[in-house]
Amino acid sequence: MLLRARQFEFPFPRPTLVMGVVNVTPDSFSDGGQFLDPARAVAHAQELVAEGADLLDIGGESTRPGATPVSEAEELRRVIPVIEQLAPRVQVPLSIDTMKPAVARAALAAGASLVNDVAANREADDMWRAVADFGAGYVVMHMRGTPQTMQTHPTYVDVTREVEEFFHDRLQRLAAAGVTAGQVVLDVGIGFGKTLEHNLQLLATLERFTKLQRPVLLGVSRKSFIGGLRSAVAAERLPGSLACACLAVEAGVQIIRTHDVAETIQAIRVTEAILARKTI
Ligand code: HH2
């Protein structure tokens, strides 16, 4: 299996990739306001690469439940200078975390290589046209509703089956829009229109998704469901995040999205070393 994202190619199997999060926002749930200044965002991104990040995910709009939507102009103002400065300075692919086709296209033109689209359930396919035009990688993430509505009584009969069906549908529609399977990464969207129980069900059934012949990305870093099991504020959820990351590696997940790159790499390298010695 191969992931293609413009000039980058990742053949699998290989050690789990770690995607470092760079939130250029005032209101992200765990690090809002820390990297709103472009120079600080660039410096933070370079630190994450020095810690070993294989990819960087740059976002200019918080998607936490109830977040205030950001205008296209404001999102562009936040992320484009950061991508322009980072692209020539780092060797790793840059991903743009956006729901807006115009932001995705501008970010790709500025040097990004992947689009991380948490609203992959959109009907309009301008986003997919931009991805196809640039030959970019594309993260198709499952979300029920929008960040404003997603946590209002999310219900599923069988969350794993419904997310699986969503991926099959999007893979077909993406192919029709000119985005090849080799460009696509799947993400179950932990915390996006899911209760604590739905998140745990999805984490318990990750193997169903890693069988779909596409790389799977998991974003659990500092998320509130961890605090729902064992009360902790976002800054204190690293242990729970690492527990999920290690189980995900065992389930065959290929990309872990995290705010805590060095710690995550240590945890997953140990997990991989143990798994490599398993004979049964
Ligand atoms: N989670 C967040 C944002 N983007 N993208 C993918 N593919 N998967 C995720 O799980 C995911 C994501 C939420 O985390 P963060 O970016 O730290 O927070 P905020 O949306 O508040 O900026």
Q: How does DSSP assign 246-258, residue by residue?
A: HHHHHTT--EEEE
Cα 193 to the chain's mean position, in Å? 15
Q: Which residues contact 131 (CB under 8 A, 6 or more apart)?
A: 104, 108, 115, 137, 138, 179, 183
Mean pLDDT of 234-243: 96
Domain count, the chain: 1
Distance 266 CA to ligand 1 centre (A): 22
Considering the domain boundaries, does residue 7 fall inside one?
no
The reported pLDDT for the residue numbered 122 is: 76
Considering the domain boundaries, does residue 177 fall inside one?
yes
At 42, which CATH number?
3.20.20.20
Does 257 qualify as catalytic in the annotation?
Answer: yes
User: Could you count the other beta carbons within 10 Å of the beta carbon of residue 250?
Assistant: 15
Considering the domain boundaries, does residue 199 fall inside one?
yes
114 pLDDT more than 90? yes
Cα 186 to the chain's mean position, in Å? 9
Considering the domain boundaries, does residue 5 fall inside one?
no
Mean pLDDT of 144-172: 94
Whether residue 30 has its Cβ less than 6 Å from ligand 1: yes
Considering the domain boundaries, does residue 51 fall inside one?
yes
Q: Are strands 2-5 and 8-11 parallel, antiparallel or unpaired?
A: antiparallel
Decide: helix, strand or coil at residue 156: coil
- Please report how many Cα atoms fall inside a 13 Å half-sphere around the Cα of residue 9, on the Cβ side: 4
202 pLDDT more than 90? yes
The reported pLDDT for the residue numbered 125 is: 84
Locate the ligand 1 atom nearest the alpha carbon of residue 222 and give its number: 17
Decide: helix, strand or coil at residue 277: coil
Whether residue 166 contacts residue 121, with contact meaning beta carbons closer than 8 Å, is answered with: yes
Whether residue 147 has its Cβ less than 6 Å from ligand 1: no
Domain containing residue 254: 15-275
Considering the domain boundaries, does residue 280 fall inside one?
no
Decide: helix, strand or coil at residue 115: strand
Report the chain's mean pLDDT, rounded to a whole number: 96
**What length does the chain have?**
280
* Beta-bridge mates of residue 96: 58, 115
Distance 237 CA to ligand 1 centre (A): 15
Mean pLDDT of 170-175: 95
**Cα separations in angstroms, 41 against 25, 34, 114, 164, 189:** 10, 8, 18, 35, 24
Catalytic residue from among 100, 257, 277, 278: 257
279 pLDDT more than 90? no
Whether residue 219 has its Cβ less than 6 Å from ligand 1: yes
* Beta-bridge mates of residue 139: 116, 185
pTM value > 0.95: yes
Q: How confident is the model at residue 57 (pLDDT cuts 50, 70, 90)?
A: very high
Mean pLDDT of 135-155: 93
123 pLDDT more than 80? no
**Cα separations in angstroms, 277 against 30, 179, 187, 254:** 36, 37, 28, 19
Considering the domain boundaries, does residue 10 fall inside one?
no
Q: Whose CA is nearest to atom 9 of ligand 1?
A: 219
Locate the ligand 1 atom nearest the alpha carbon of residue 117 and give its number: 7
The reported pLDDT for the residue numbered 120 is: 86
The reported pLDDT for the residue numbered 227 is: 93
Mean pLDDT of 39-51: 98
Considering the domain boundaries, does residue 6 fall inside one?
no
Distance 276 CA to ligand 1 centre (A): 30
